Amino acid sequence: MPVSKLLTKLHFAAPVIGPSLLACDFADLRHEIRQLEEAGARILHLDIMDGHFVPNISFGVPVVEAVRRSTELPLDVHLMLSEPARYVAAFRRAGADMITVHIEAVPDPRELLNEIRATGAVAGLSLNPPTPLYKVEDYLEYCDFVLVMSVMAGFGGQEFDPVALEKLSRLRKLAGPGFLLSVDGGINRQTVGRCAAAGADLLVAGSAVFSEDNYGQIITELKNLAELHKTTQV
Ligand code: DX5
Ligand code: ZN
């Protein structure tokens, strides 16, 4: 899907719940994806970890390719890698529609974000909870969205850090109403509304979705809670 079309789609569908496959049953990947499609998921979030930028290893290019063969949903690929520049082209070829890199790995990300855009993917810039917002502020024009981490990148199932809320609110003011904001980590029934109220459009949820038997019910519930809080904010 062309970048502008995907961004417009997400903008109009917001708030969107993005299931993170990190918490899925990888032994049954195709079935998990089918269930998420049937549950009304509009996008899938894929976490790539190298055991160096973060202390955990998840999966790589072949798994993204396999997911791509299993669905037409947009793939939001979150690179938690020390050297993301080496792998952007490969993940794009594998089927990534959105590619996010971390400011902590690439302190001046202008060239890399341009490269991501040049591949035809949506370019995202992410920051961990301890990283101050000013580190990304100068690069907003070089990216299509910011992914605010509400846990330290590396593991699913961690507790939400409210520092993300201040960052989302500030970014919403800085970047304006049309700019896509995403939040990732510890999103559940208790936190999703606060993130939507603070300005998040795309809310990534791993364990909150996969710990339930009925993905449709939890995705709808999270979406409704986000919608409610977003609406009451306006
Ligand atoms: C953490 C990942 C997240 C993770 C979220 O480094 O970036 O996408 O899957 O998992 P939960 O929703 O369980 O915090
Ligand atoms: Zn992620």
List, for residues 94-111, the tens digit of each pLDDT value.
999 999 999 999 999 999
Which pLDDT band, with edges at 50, 70 and 90, does 1 fall under? Answer: confident
At 231, the pLDDT band (50, 70, 90 cuts) reads: low
Q: What is the pTM of this model?
A: 0.97
Question: Residues near ligand 1 with C-beta < 6 Å?
Answer: 20, 22-23, 45, 47, 78, 151, 153-158, 184-187, 204-208
Task: Tokens for 69, please give them.
Answer: 């063969």
What residue owns the CA closest to ligand 1's atom 10? 156
Residue 234 has what pLDDT?
44
pLDDT digits (tens, 9 = 90+) for 58-67: 999 999 999 9
Residues near 224 by beta carbon (within 8 Å), at least 6 away in sequence: none
* Residues 25/32, Cβ–Cβ less than 8 Å: yes
pLDDT band at 232 (very low <50, low <70, confident <90, very high): low
Query: Ligand 1 pocket check: which of 17, 20, 24, 219 to mutate, most ligand atoms within 8 Å of Cβ?
Result: 20
- Ion ligand 2 — residues with CB < 5 Å: 47, 78, 184
Helices 215-233 + 29-38 axis angle, to 10: 50
